A = this chain, B = another copy of it.
């Protein structure tokens, strides 16, 4: 028995993600016959991904249908699921913004400017869904998951589930300790990019003492000798372990990147100390170009494959499921094939101490009844006060600024960036950021309040 559905992928030009999705669909019999609608504004990438998808499915003999379109409304029509992976702020534009802030004395960004363009885009997609496919689930698979999912669930009636890879970091902890990842059980709730290893068991026994022993006996050697395998390979870095000391629980995945802990991020030298060689973590002037180059190489490689009809895609990409959660979640919801995932959904009491209408990252049981978050024990009060609630406040300010278009709230955020040294500097960098090409809409939306002058 299988259920044919329609999945709309917004921002489908993200080639690696889209092909992974197709793989998982091909390998999920319960979704045979489904239609995947690739939507993107980049027509060349869109054509490439559709070609690859068709060929991959054909090689595996899978019963899937595909369409491609640059028309979002068309793609959303009759959709049962919408996967939004799109980013409207390009790597190029992000670099241009960092160049502007550098002129004002900020190291590698360093300014709290907010995600307003991306929030506007996410809300537009959600509003389209409300109109066109109001019963569809939105699986938000691009950042800012926390702010965006909270905004969309507050402002629209659609069902939103945000996903992120960060929680897989727990397996990296296990492997570094020499533990079989299959034999650990764990829980790491919190907010997206701000999750904390509350439970860490190996063969049913608390594994934190094993971590403590690793820190005591092996960490210094590890930090001296480890060469990061990817720019994001910081789970066992000196910075992550220091955060464990500061906050009392191990920070997982993207959590060690938290710019809130600005003291790990003041220069490339400092970042290398805390996050290791050769890049100092993913957020440096040498890591980011390497990362973007890697993405571009993969796209070039996939374009080449798409244009080589003789290449075997199954040989190239394998026929194992990815570790992505999108398809198992869809399968769970559609076919009652129960699945436990780490999701971002409105709290409604799952994470004590956080308001109901804030999106939290928690484990959830997914079946035909829906996505049921597991109520987790409270996080330690120290982590709530130092890491969780300050981030909730930042999010609330960002959403209020977004909604009201109050420019003084942007200024307030810049003033509160840890690298800001004077009022004049904050005013100047904000002016220059808003005057950048591509920020015309932002500059119109954000006005000084009436009391300003």
Are B393 and A409 in contact, with the CB atoms below 8 A? no
Quick one: which of B244, B246, B409, B420 contacts A386, CB cutoff 8 A? B409
Verify B245–A415 contact, CB threshold 8 A: no
| Chain B residue with Cβ nearest A448 | B245
Task: Find chain B residues with CB under 8 A from A409 CB.
Answer: 382, 386
Are B389 and A246 in touch, CB under 8 angstroms? no
Does any Cβ of B come within 8 Å of A121's Cβ? no
The smallest C-beta distance from A392 to any residue of chain B, in angstroms, reads 9
Q: Which residue in chain B gives the minimum CB-CB distance to A249?
A: B451
Interface flag for A412 (CB, 8 Å): yes
| Complexed CA–CA distance, A449 and B249 (Å) | 12
CA separation between A244 and B212, bound complex, in Å?
A: 51
When chains A and B are docked, how far (Å) is the Cα of A411 from the Cα of B390? 17
Say yes or no: is A74 at the interface (Cβ < 8 Å to chain B): no
- Whether the pair B385, A248 counts as a contact (CB closer than 8 A) is no
Give bound CA distance, A421 to B408, whole Å. 25
Interface residues in A233-273 (C-beta closer than 8 Å to B): 244-246, 248, 263-264, 266, 270
Which chain B residues lie closer than 8 Å to A390 at the CB level?
393
In the complex, chain B residues whose CB is within 8 Å of the CB of A393:
385, 389-390, 393
- Residues of B within 8 Å of A397, CB to CB, are 385-386
**Distance of A406 Cα from B380 Cα, bound (Å):** 13
Which chain A residues (378-414) contact chain B, with CB distance < 8 Å? 381-382, 385-386, 389-390, 393, 396-397, 400, 404, 406, 408-409, 411-412
A394 to chain B, nearest CB (A): 9
For A444, list chain B residues within 8 Å (CB).
none
Q: Could you jot down 11 A-B contacts, CB within 8 Å?
A: A244-B451, A245-B408, A248-B449, A248-B451, A263-B415, A263-B420, A263-B426, A266-B422, A381-B400, A389-B393, A418-B418
Chain B residues closer than 8 Å to A246, beta-carbon distance: 408, 411-412
Kindly list chain B residues whose C-beta atoms are within 8 Å of the C-beta of A449: 245, 248
Is A423 on the interface with B (CB-CB < 8 A)? yes
